[in-house]
Amino acid sequence: MKVLFSCVPGKGHYNPLLPLARAFVRRGDRVAFLTARSMAPDVSIEGFEHLPAGASTDEMFAEAARRSGVDQVAGAVPGAVAEFFAGARLDLGGDAALDLARQWQPDLIVNEMFDLVGVLVATGLTAPLATVSLGPATPPEFLDAIAANAAPRFVARGYEPPIGLPAGRWVLETCPDGLSASRTPTKAERLTLRPEAHRDSAGAAPALPAPVPGRPRVLITLGSQFAASEVVVKLLDDLTGGSEPLDVEFVATILPGADVAGVRHRSEHVTVVPFQPLSRLLTGVTAALIHGGAGTTLGCLAEGVPLVVWPQGLDQPVQAVAVHAAGAGIGLPPGPVSAPVLREAVRQVVTDPAYADAAGRIRREIEAMSAPERVAADLAEALAAS
């Protein structure tokens, strides 16, 4: 069977698809990724085929900002988000994606919730589509705006536009019930898909030594978009300062490709490491301060790690609210937060066992969800029977 995965060209959209893509490969299926050329290093290291089409994330951000006049990285509003995921993405790569997919002729297309190219290709090829959710339910005003922005682009190509999102035959739900008070309405068949902390395909060993006895370890990661060195240094200074410093060990990541040697900090209880798979960083971690990307949020909770979620933009406030409501951590408001507020949030999550208990409950829910191998087999069986 030929399975074509399609995603927005960013690690936060690509990585959550990897467990299922790897499961199809282990079945002996042929797997390709339809995404921008900028994702070639990520795709090639996994050994997947790559159908390169469309603009990079940076190019899409620039084009969407030019059209909408809004920097949606700093603050998400429905119209600007729709211009990014639908307008700019389809205009800058939709036709090329259709051409490549027609040549490849997939039996099944798998996309992620914000990927409209996969919806376009599935419609154009009349191919079955399964959509992987990313975290808790996205507010309907965002999904409605994305679908509305995409509609004229489908019509211009002679296709019926999606009535709403998700638009496929199946929704592969990665968010456990304990983290989502509601589900995005859809007529699609729902299957659960167990999320996991992103790991190398070879399952690399942990990159860090064991934590110092008696000193809790707190991971700081702002993902692949927001962890500029100067931002991380300021955050570390805020967390390690004050009249009552936190008695913890911090491990912090920076942007992909950035040099850790250039990151200066004032505390001996800080280790700064290069950007790397989340699974390498969670061993021995008591809590994590994160940006609220869906993959990072679910990856930490899959290991039972309680969180401080400080949203940096995009849809990250959704994760902050969900984690806070579930009791699995503290959700901070987006935007500037004072050093005392940051320190107190970390202190509470590290010292109050209720947060770890709630994160543990969510971990057990995640463990009960369907493994990628089961989902791959179920989809293959459904296609064979249709």
Judge whether 8 and 364 are in contact, CB under 8 Å.
Answer: no
204 domain-assigned = no
Structure tokens at 153: 């682009």
Backbone dihedral angles phi then psi of residue 108, each to the nearest 5 degrees:
-145, 140
Does residue 183 sit in the same domain as residue 252? Answer: no
* Number of domains forming the structure of the chain: 2
Does residue 175 sit in the same domain as residue 237? Answer: no
Structure tokens at 297: 């949020």
What pLDDT does 182 receive? 64
Rg (CA), the chain: 21
Does residue 228 sit in the same domain as residue 356? Answer: yes
pLDDT tens for 84-102 read 999 999 999 999 999 999 9
Short-list 379, 370, 386, 385, CA closest to 29: 379
178 domain-assigned = yes
280 domain-assigned = yes
71 domain-assigned = yes
Does residue 348 sit in the same domain as residue 379? Answer: no
Does residue 256 sit in the same domain as residue 243? Answer: yes
Q: What is d(CA 44, CA 51) in angstroms, rounded to the nearest whole number?
A: 11
What pLDDT does 73 receive? 58
Q: What is d(CA 204, CA 177) in angstroms, rounded to the nearest whole number?
A: 30
Compute mean pLDDT per 10 residues along the chain, 386 residues long, and list them.
98 96 98 99 97 96 89 73 95 98 99 98 99 91 95 98 93 94 79 95 66 92 87 91 89 89 80 91 96 95 98 88 98 94 98 99 98 99 96
42 domain-assigned = yes
| CATH number, residue 298 | 3.40.50.2000
What pLDDT does 207 receive? 63
Judge whether 197 and 278 are in contact, CB under 8 Å.
Answer: yes
pLDDT tens for 222-276 read 988 888 888 898 999 999 988 888 999 999 999 888 888 878 777 788 999 999 9
Does residue 236 sit in the same domain as residue 361? Answer: yes
What pLDDT does 50 receive? 99
Question: What residue has token string 């296709």?
Answer: 159
Describe the strand order of the beta sheet including 217-221 as a list of residue ranges: 270-273, 249-253, 217-221, 285-290, 307-309, 329-331
Collapse the DSSP code of 108 into the 3-class scheme (helix H, G, I; strand E, B; otherwise coil) and give the result.
Answer: strand
What pLDDT does 259 receive? 85
What is the domain range of residue 296?
A: 217-366
What pLDDT does 322 receive? 96
Q: At what angle do helices 116-125 and 94-104 cross, to 10 degrees?
A: 50
H-type alpha helices, the chain: 11-14, 18-27, 40-46, 57-68, 78-82, 89-91, 94-104, 116-125, 140-156, 229-240, 294-302, 316-326, 339-351, 353-367, 372-385
Alpha-carbon distances of 23 from 7, 40, 105, 213, rounded to whole Å: 17, 20, 20, 38
Does residue 176 sit in the same domain as residue 247? Answer: no
